[in-house]
Amino acid sequence: MSEGSLLDHALVRLDEAAAHLAIDADVIEKLKYARETTKVRLMIRMDDGSRKSFLAWRCRYDDTRGPTKGGIRFHPDATADEVETLAFWMTFKCAVMNLPYGGGKGAVQVDPRKLSKAELERLSRAYIQAFSRIIGPDRDIPAPDVYTNSMIMGWMADEYAQIVGEAAPAVITGKPLALGGSLGRGDATARGGYYLVRHLATDLGLGQPLKVAVQGFGNAGQHIARLLAADGHTIVAVSDSEGAVHAPAGLDVHALMTAKAQGRSVASTAGSHGHERLAAEKLVGVDCDVLVPSALENMIHEGNAGTVRAKLILELANGPVTAEADAILARNSVIVLPDILANAGGVTVSYFEWVQNRQGYYWTLEEIHERLRVIMEREGRAIWNTAREKGISVRTAAYVHALNRLAEAIEAHGTQNFFVS
Ligand code: NAD
Query: At residue 362, what is the residue type?
Result: Y
In 263-406, where do the E strands start and end? 276-278, 290-293, 312-314, 335-337
* pLDDT band (50, 70, 90) for residue 417: low
Reply yes or no on whether the pLDDT at 39 is more than 60: yes
Q: What are the pLDDT digits (tens) for 172-230?
A: 999 999 999 999 999 999 999 999 999 999 999 998 899 999 999 999 999 999 999 99
CA of 216 to the centre of ligand 1 (A): 6
Q: Is 339 in the pocket of ligand 1 (CB under 6 A)?
A: no
CB-based contact 331:357 (threshold 8 Å): no
Give 262 Cα–ligand 1 centroid separation in angstroms.
18
CB 316 within 8 A of CB 294: yes
Q: Give the separation between CA 21 and CA 404, rounded to whole angstroms.
A: 8
Query: Quick one: pLDDT at residue 26?
Result: 87
Quick one: which of 179, 139, 138 has its CA closest to 156? 179
Say if ligand 1 is within 6 A of residue 243 CB: no
SS3 167: coil
Over residues 317-333, the pLDDT tens digits come to 999 999 999 999 999 99
- Mean pLDDT across 107-121: 98
Q: Of the listed 69, 93, 105, 211, which one is catalytic?
A: 105
Residue partners of 328: CB distance under 8 A and separation at least 6:
302, 305, 306
Residue 314's alpha-carbon distances to 292, 324, 334, 365, in angstroms, are 5, 17, 11, 24
Does residue 304 surpass a pLDDT of 90? yes
Ligand 1 within 6 A of CB of 241: yes
Residue 389 makes CB contacts below 8 A (sequence gap 6+) with none
Q: Which of 145, 150, 246, 281 to mutate to test the pocket of ligand 1 (most atoms within 8 A of CB)?
A: 145
pLDDT digits (tens, 9 = 90+) for 48-90: 999 999 999 999 999 999 999 999 999 999 999 999 999 999 9
With contact defined as beta carbons under 8 Å apart, do 14 and 31 qualify?
yes
Instruction: Give 257-270 pLDDT, tens digit per residue.
Output: 999 999 999 999 99
- Count how many residues are written for the chain: 421
Ligand 1 atom nearest 240 alpha carbon: 21
> Which atom of ligand 1 lies at the shortest distance from residue 296's CA?
32
Of all residues in the chain, the percent with pLDDT exceeding 90 is 94
